[in-house]
Amino acid sequence: MTDSIAIFDVPAATYWPAVRCALSDRGIAWMRDWHALPDGRRDMSDDEFMTARKPLIAGLVRAGYEKLSVGVA
């Protein structure tokens, strides 16, 4: 069983302390940015989380598109 499957129905506030201990501040920042995780996510409902996450995901897609389209006419 993978970690993701094991925590599927568990609130983030429950498993977050173990994740936090396993990563450096830099690792946490990388995870937050590349996984489009909004600040305060541990205290959000699923609907609040998804609403806050959508613009972050859009920003990642936009940044990827811009990086790939540089020099393309």
Residues 4-22 have pLDDT tens digits of 555 567 777 777 778 788 8
Nearest to 12 by CA among 34, 40, 50: 40
Half-sphere exposure of 14 (CA within 13 A, CB side): 6
pLDDT string in tens for the chain (73-residue length): 455 555 567 777 777 778 788 889 998 899 889 999 999 887 888 899 999 999 999 999 999 999 899 866 5
Residue 7: per-residue pLDDT: 56
